Amino acid sequence: MQTLATLPKDHEAIIADVTSVTNTDVIALRLGELGFVPGERVEVIATGPFGHEPIAVRLGTSRFALRHSEAARIHLQDPK
């Protein structure tokens, strides 16, 4: 399953789930609070110049900058 960390720039996908890496993964919880929840569309709109990090993503009308380690928690399904 593809993650947001591997989604190419200018591509859009639907969030399948957000995975916690530990039982108390505060980053995964925070992503959910920000709206990174199953069924939402997300698009990579820019990447950083070195190592393509951070990545800028659009979620609804909001934009966020995420580290690859954060984006790797967000699993995607292809848009239909």
The domain 4-77: what is its CATH number? 2.30.30.90
Spell out the domain ranges in the chain. 4-77
Q: For residue range 13-59, list pLDDT tens digits in order.
A: 999 999 998 999 999 999 999 999 999 999 999 999 887 889 999 99
Q: pTM here?
A: 0.90
Q: How far is CA 39 from CA 2, 7, 15, 50, 79, in A?
A: 15, 16, 5, 31, 10
Confidence tier at 1 by pLDDT (50, 70, 90): confident
- Mean pLDDT of all residues in 51-79: 92
Residues facing residue 46 across a β-bridge: 56
